[in-house]
């Protein structure tokens, strides 16, 4: 009989770490989906190495996947891991500082040999001591490689193929540790390897052996139970990455608007997965041009917008810089266009695989002339669906370019996503010319919203010439008349400001009656929310106002912010949103909490800072 004791937990963070060839992303994804199916909330974050295939066992090649699961609301992939699975010493070294006191390290004892220590640049043969790993952390050496070898004896695979399955042994062991029945994991594997029966059989065998290894060994550690989440609204769910959710939001918007979806794109980390997702959706009629450069990415899209498609371009920081002039053309031609910037560490090439929020001012102001655009920012991976949809809706209804800011953290990370139905999504009504308007000028617009009417080639009676030169407000002809230019500048500005009439009000999360207000925007929502909730739980009064609509701001922004005595703007840059708010909200002293390390906030550091400020 199994005498292993069981501990109940509200939430737990597991980090899988190994060589980029060790299959850690797959293992992590399977484990997190498995947990979600059993009713847990999940949030995950993959941590890819910047090198494609660094030499085996070296620090540069370490690939990680962190999952946070819980029986309550989960907002982030977690700061530190309760359980680390380390496939080699390099993985241990990279993650040594990110393990909780009292946590568990499961490692492949077969890969902890002298030569492995050298590869990971250890100077001794005791990596744990060298790293100063706390005694409170329990070490579980497991000979994953040799156990996998014996598990697959008789399959006739070469050693390399055999060892590729050791991640499944680790997964089996983790399933046992967290009391996860492996049936569902087997179901996932069947979906993945269904067409390769031998491989499927092998992976299932190793997974099962891993599970029973834990079970039979009566390891002197506690297994964990994490109850189903009761805070999650009922419904059908999947887990989705921000980049995939972005792509699907665009697909949904195109179908809702009755338009063809067009993407002009040039590969750039960490935005490329959006293109991958869309180009695979030819069944949905999506047209993707992989352009010759970032400029062609956006200008092909502007052509498609001119021709009547829901036109989109996606990129990351340096690409947004290259697209600046063309965004100005879309502003001037008043065409609907969605520009997605999955922000990464900058400036210049910067840190392509790391996250940052440093493109905000570029998005708002990075163009010549008075060139206002709508700017949105998604807060979580699943949020990307909603804001990609809303970016499309605003672009089409208000005839303006819209920049949607996401980032490497939410773009690559995953969260639970309640599956939507198209019918439940808000209607999208592009601002087309109307029958009877034949012969109208290119500048003809709705005098209230200032949105230009969209006439699309192929339609008789609406032929017109558009372009980047200033036009006369009435006739639409090229014009340099001084007061007309100012009128046109003002009308393009008014058009963007008018969008605020359709935005939801800024809402306060946490303790509304607090004196202190935390302000955030975009992909930091999870960390800020967790910090504020944790502090509220222990009786500390603090509130959060998180922005997804940046330009224009929600109408009640000033009123809300002015209610608080102390306001701190938290962002992963040197204070860009704080600068913006200072120009928009009078009479408020905006304190700042900034981090520019290519890493998300940690909840711990936020709580510490907020407590000090209070």
Partner 1 sequence: METTKTLQYTAKDFKSDQYVRWCPGCGDHAVLNSLQKVMAELGVAPHNTAVISGIGCSSRLPYYISSYGFHTIHGRGAAVATGVKVANPQLSVWQITGDGDCLAIGGNHFIHSVRRNVDLNVLLFNNQIYGLTKGQYSPTTKKGFVTKSSPFGTVERPFRAAELTFGARGTFFARLLDVDLKTAQQCMIAAAKHEGTSVVECLVNCVIFNDGAHGWLAQKENRADRTIVLEHGKPMIFGKDRDKGLVLDGFNLKVVTIGENGVNEGGILVHDASCEDSTLHMKLALMEGPNMPIAMGVIRNVEEETYDAAVEAQIAEVQAKSKVKTFDDLIDTCEQWDM
The token pair at 548 is 């997804």
Q: Which helix (H) or strand (E) covers residue 349, if one does?
A: none
Is 95 a residue that touches partner 1 (CB under 8 A)?
A: no
Q: Which helix (H) or strand (E) covers residue 323, if one does?
A: helix 317-333
At residue 184, φ and ψ (nearest 5 deg) are: -65, -35
Q: Which member of 141, 181, 457, 504 binds partner 1 (CB under 8 A)?
A: 457
Is 10 a residue that touches partner 1 (CB under 8 A)?
A: no
Smallest gap from Cβ 277 to partner 1, in A, equals: 11
CA distance 391 to 308: 17
Which of these segments, 83-91, 126-134, 208-216, 299-307, binds partner 1 (CB under 8 A)? 299-307
Q: Give the C-alpha distances (Å, rounded to integers) separating 501 from 251, 313, 432.
A: 25, 26, 20
**Of residues 389 and 593, the one with the C-beta less far from partner 1:** 389
Residues 119-138 that bind partner 1 (CB under 8 A): none
**Of residues 355 and 371, the one with the C-beta less far from partner 1:** 371
**Of residues 140 and 252, the one with the C-beta less far from partner 1:** 252
Is 32 a residue that touches partner 1 (CB under 8 A)?
A: no
Smallest gap from Cβ 224 to partner 1, in A, equals: 20
Q: How many CB atoms lie within 10 A of CB 564?
A: 20
**Of residues 307 and 494, the one with the C-beta less far from partner 1:** 307
DSSP summary character for residue 54: P
* Best CA proximity match to 509, nearest among 524, 498, 495: 524
Contact 542, 614 (CB under 8 A): yes
DSSP summary character for residue 445: B
Smallest gap from Cβ 489 to partner 1, in A, equals: 19
Is 72 a residue that touches partner 1 (CB under 8 A)?
A: no
Residues 487-526 that bind partner 1 (CB under 8 A): none
CA distance 596 to 56: 30
Smallest gap from Cβ 227 to partner 1, in A, equals: 13
**Of residues 299 and 576, the one with the C-beta less far from partner 1:** 299
Smallest gap from Cβ 220 to partner 1, in A, equals: 34
CA distance 154 to 429: 63
Residues 379-438 that bind partner 1 (CB under 8 A): 416, 419-422
Q: How many CB atoms lie within 10 A of CB 287?
A: 16
The token pair at 588 is 């408020």
Provide the β-strand partners of residue 405.
341, 377
Is 361 a residue that touches partner 1 (CB under 8 A)?
A: no
Token pair 């996998």 is found at: 148
Q: Apex CA 434: angle with CA 428 and CA 440, to 5°?
A: 125
DSSP summary character for residue 293: S
Which of these segments, 103-111, 305-313, 346-354, 568-576, binds partner 1 (CB under 8 A)? 305-313
Strands 414-418 and 41-47: antiparallel
Is 33 a residue that touches partner 1 (CB under 8 A)?
A: yes
Q: Which member of 101, 123, 124, 191 binds partner 1 (CB under 8 A)?
A: 191
**Of residues 328 and 522, the one with the C-beta less far from partner 1:** 328
The token pair at 253 is 């918007």
Is 175 a residue that touches partner 1 (CB under 8 A)?
A: no
Residues 199-228 that bind partner 1 (CB under 8 A): 228
| Per-residue binding letters, 458-487, with partner 1 (x by CB under 8 A) | xxxxxxxxxxxx-------xx---------
Peptide bond into 552 cis (omega under 30): yes
Token pair 């008349």 is found at: 481
| HEC letters along 537-560 | HCCCCCEEEEECEEECCCCCHHHH
Is 266 a residue that touches partner 1 (CB under 8 A)?
A: no
Number of residues that bind partner 1 (CB under 8 A): 73
Smallest gap from Cβ 390 to partner 1, in A, equals: 16
Rg (CA), the chain: 26
Which of these segments, 123-131, 268-276, 289-297, 586-594, binds partner 1 (CB under 8 A)? 289-297
Which of these segments, 83-91, 298-306, 445-453, 498-506, binds partner 1 (CB under 8 A)? 298-306
Q: Which member of 62, 189, 311, 506 binds partner 1 (CB under 8 A)?
A: 311
**Of residues 88 and 265, the one with the C-beta less far from partner 1:** 265
* Residue 156, C-beta contacts closer than 8 angstroms, at least 6 positions apart: none
* Best CA proximity match to 241, nearest among 249, 233, 232: 249
Is 105 a residue that touches partner 1 (CB under 8 A)?
A: no
Is 333 a residue that touches partner 1 (CB under 8 A)?
A: yes
Is 358 a residue that touches partner 1 (CB under 8 A)?
A: no
**Of residues 213 and 262, the one with the C-beta less far from partner 1:** 262
* Residue 239, C-beta contacts closer than 8 angstroms, at least 6 positions apart: 32, 33, 36, 42, 44, 414, 415, 416, 417
Q: Which helix (H) or strand (E) covers residue 46, if one does?
A: strand 41-47
Q: Which member of 258, 285, 347, 504 binds partner 1 (CB under 8 A)?
A: 285
Q: Which member of 69, 295, 572, 578 binds partner 1 (CB under 8 A)?
A: 295
Contact 428, 392 (CB under 8 A): yes
Q: Which member of 97, 218, 282, 584 binds partner 1 (CB under 8 A)?
A: 282
Q: Which member of 135, 283, 589, 612 binds partner 1 (CB under 8 A)?
A: 283
| Per-residue binding letters, 35-54, with partner 1 (x by CB under 8 A) | -xx-x---------------
Residues 223-252 that bind partner 1 (CB under 8 A): 228-229, 232-238, 240, 248, 251-252
Contact 377, 550 (CB under 8 A): yes
Which of these segments, 62-70, 174-182, 278-286, 590-598, binds partner 1 (CB under 8 A)? 278-286
SS3 state of residue 30: helix
Which of these segments, 94-102, 279-287, 426-434, 531-539, binds partner 1 (CB under 8 A)? 279-287
Smallest gap from Cβ 293 to partner 1, in A, equals: 6
Is 306 a residue that touches partner 1 (CB under 8 A)?
A: yes
* Residue 479, C-beta contacts closer than 8 angstroms, at least 6 positions apart: 470, 471, 472, 485
CA distance 221 to 129: 21
Q: Which member of 293, 481, 505, 559 binds partner 1 (CB under 8 A)?
A: 293
């Amino acid at each position: 009989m199994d005498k292993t004791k069981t501990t109940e937990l509200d939430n737990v963070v597991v980090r899988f770490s190994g060589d980029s060839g060790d299959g850690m992303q797959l293992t992590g994804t399977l484990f997190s989906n498995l947990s979600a199916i059993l009713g847990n909330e999940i949030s995950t974050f993959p941590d890819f190495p910047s090198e494609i295939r660094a030499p085996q066992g070296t620090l540069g090649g370490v690939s990680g996947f962190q999952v946070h699961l819980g029986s309550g609301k989960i907002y982030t992939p977690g700061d530190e891991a309760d359980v680390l699975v380390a496939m080699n010493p390099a993985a241990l070294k990279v993650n040594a500082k990110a393990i909780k006191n009292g946590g568990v390290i499961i490692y492949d004892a077969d890969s902890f040999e002298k030569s492995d220590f050298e590869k990971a640049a250890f100077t001794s043969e005791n990596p744990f001591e060298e790293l100063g790993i706390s005694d409170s952390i329990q070490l579980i050496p497991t000979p994953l490689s040799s156990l996998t070898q014996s598990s697959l004896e008789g399959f006739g695979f070469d050693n390399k193929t055999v060892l590729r399955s050791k991640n499944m042994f680790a997964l089996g062991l983790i399933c046992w540790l967290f009391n996860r029945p492996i049936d569902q994991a087997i179901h996932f594997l069947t979906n993945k390897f269904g067409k390769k029966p031998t491989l499927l059989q092998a992976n299932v065998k190793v997974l099962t052996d891993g599970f029973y290894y834990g079970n039979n060994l009566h390891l002197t550690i506690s297994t964990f139970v994490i109850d189903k989440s009761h805070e999650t609204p009922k419904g059908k769910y999947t887990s989705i990455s921000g980049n995939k959710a972005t792509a699907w939001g665009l697909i949904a918007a195109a179908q809702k608007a009755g338009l063809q979806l067009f993407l002009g794109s040039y590969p750039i980390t960490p935005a490329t997965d959006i293109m991958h997702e869309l180009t695979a959706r030819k069944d949905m009629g999506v047209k993707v041009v992989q352009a010759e450069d970032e400029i062609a990415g956006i200008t092909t899209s502007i052509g498609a917008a001119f021709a009547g498609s829901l036109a989109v371009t996606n990129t990351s920081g340096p690409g947004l810089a290259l697209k600046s002039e063309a965004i100005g053309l879309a502003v001037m031609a008043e065409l609907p266009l969605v520009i997605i910037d999955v922000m990464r560490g900058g400036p210049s090439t910067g840190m392509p695989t790391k996250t940052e929020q440093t493109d905000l001012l570029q998005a708002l102001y990075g163009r010549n002339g008075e060139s206002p655009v709508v700017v949105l920012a998604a807060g979580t991976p699943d949020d990307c669906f909603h804001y990609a949809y809303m970016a499309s809706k605003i672009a089409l209804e208000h005839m303006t370019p819209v920049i949607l800011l996401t980032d490497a953290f939410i773009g690559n990370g995953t969260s639970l996503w309640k599956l939507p139905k198209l019918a439940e999504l808000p209607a999208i009504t592009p601002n087309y010319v109307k029958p009877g308007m034949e012969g109208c000028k290119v500048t003809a617009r709705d005098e209230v919203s200032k949105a230009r009417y969209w006439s699309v080639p192929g339609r008789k009676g609406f032929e017109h010439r558009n372009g980047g030169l200033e036009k006369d407000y009435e006739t639409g002809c090229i014009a340099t008349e001084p007061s007309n230019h100012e009128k046109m500048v003002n009308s393009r500005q008014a058009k963007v400001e008018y969008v605020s009439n359709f935005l939801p009000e800024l809402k306060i999360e946490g303790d509304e009656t607090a004196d202190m207000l935390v302000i955030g925007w975009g992909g930091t929502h999870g960390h800020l929310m967790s910090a504020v909730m944790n502090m509220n739980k222990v009786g500390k009064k603090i509130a959060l106002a998180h922005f997804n609509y940046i330009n224009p701001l929600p109408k009640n922004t000033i009123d809300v912010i002015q209610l608080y005595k102390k306001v701190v703007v938290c962002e992963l840059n040197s204070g860009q949103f704080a600068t913006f708010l200072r120009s928009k909200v009078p009479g408020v002293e905006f304190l700042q909490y900034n981090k520019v390390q290519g890493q998300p906030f940690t909840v711990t550091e936020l709580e510490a800072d907020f407590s000090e400020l209070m």
